[in-house]
Amino acid sequence: MRITARQIELFQMAYRHRSTRRAADALNITQPAISRAITELELEIGVQLFDRAGRKFEPTAAAHSLNKAVQRHYQGLDRVLEAAGKISSGTGGLIRIATVPAVADTRIAVASGRLMARYPDLRFDVDVLGEQASVSALREGRVDCAIISSDPGDPGLHAVRLADLKPVAILPGNDPFAGGNNITPEELAEVAQVMLPPDSPFRDAVERMFDDARISFQVRAEARTQSALIWMVAQGAGRAIVDKAALHATPGADVRELTLKARLRWPIRVITTSATRDAPGLVRLTEELQKSGSHS
């Protein structure tokens, strides 16, 4: 890998100013010289460092990771080259994730944890947000991907459907239906529900299921994560519908799992910008999440 100290210097200036023009002014050189150096650096590393869609010039996840490596090893170009190689292969660098709560402490935690154990120089930071807030964070460059339910339908964003979560009904051990194998929405609604918050797309899907069947239901309590729902149900607070995979994250919770006799699908998608859709670290994360979905 042929990276020069001059390319790193120009990259850092462009990164700092978020503009090739302002970076060129600061260094008293021409703007094309900055743009050419960054393009050559991107070609050498094999990943896009800046999102240039429209009038934007926003650093990508690879750029953030490369800048950290430069700051950490500013006196050793060999170490910077090593870090760049790991970013290029998706085995190093920082990936920032915004995710809806329903999968934060289950699928996202498991997938990112496995990858970090496999690749010690790869790091994932996870922020738990609502669906719209996750997409906003992605558009504003505060995260590198958003894990949500719906497809934003934005040509500047890239959506990959990872899986359909498998909803099941859970009941406390002393519930009259606890000895059964399945339960209908009508039977489920006979007892108050413990649900995700109203801004959750998964809560919305559950409410639509009840509404389509013209079934009234009572909400006993709300919790931000599915793990919290499971523990509430285990204490006898009510009944709930959760992702089957969430039960593996709470092995000590005494709940009974019943098949829900209703058509209820909870899609989950990873959203990236079009510029970073092929970033190696994000590709690894997507593949790991798809693998987890096929095993759930």
Give residue 54's pLDDT.
78
Q: How far is CA 71 from CA 37, 57, 76, in A?
A: 19, 21, 10
- Secondary structure class of 159 (helix, strand, coil): strand
DSSP string, 162-194: EEEE-EEEEEETTSTTTTSSEE-HHHHTTS-EE
Q: How far is CA 191 from CA 170, 187, 233, 263, in A?
A: 12, 8, 11, 20
Higher per-residue pLDDT: 21 or 89 = 21
Give residue 294's pLDDT.
53
Give residue 256's pLDDT.
95
Give residue 112's pLDDT.
94
Q: Which whole number is the average pLDDT over 14-20?
A: 91
Give residue 293's pLDDT.
58
Backbone angles phi, psi at 206, to 5 degrees: -65, -45
CA 19/CA 184 separation, integer angstroms:
58
Residue 1's CB is within 10 A of a number of other CB atoms, namely 10
Number of H helices, E strands in the chain: 12, 13
Domains and CATH numbers, the chain: 1-89 (1.10.10.10), 165-265 (3.40.190.10)
What confidence tens digit (pLDDT) does each residue in 198-256 have? 888 899 999 999 999 999 999 999 998 899 999 999 999 999 999 988 888 788 899 99
Residue 46 has pLDDT above 90, yes or no: no
pLDDT-derived band at 183, boundaries 50, 70, 90: very high
Please, what is the average pLDDT of the chain?
89
- Of 87-91, 182-186, 246-250, the range with the highest mean pLDDT is 182-186
Higher per-residue pLDDT: 5 or 147 = 147
What confidence tens digit (pLDDT) does each residue in 248-294 have? 878 889 999 999 998 888 899 999 998 888 888 899 999 999 887 55
Find, among 161, 162, 160, 178, the residue nearest to 170 by Cα: 178
Find, among 179, 263, 159, 164, the residue nearest to 213 by Cα: 263
Give residue 73's pLDDT.
60
- 46: exposed, middle or buried (Cβ count in 10 Å: 0-12, 13-18, 19+): middle
> Are the C-beta atoms of 167 and 260 separated by less than 8 Å?
yes
Residue 75 has pLDDT above 80, yes or no: no
CA 192/CA 194 separation, integer angstroms:
7
Backbone angles phi, psi at 26, to 5 degrees: -65, -35
Beta strands in 197-281 (DSSP E): 219-222, 240-243, 255-260, 266-273
What confidence tens digit (pLDDT) does each residue in 120-137 have? 989 999 999 989 999 999
Give residue 89's pLDDT.
82
> Are the C-beta atoms of 242 and 170 separated by less than 8 Å?
yes
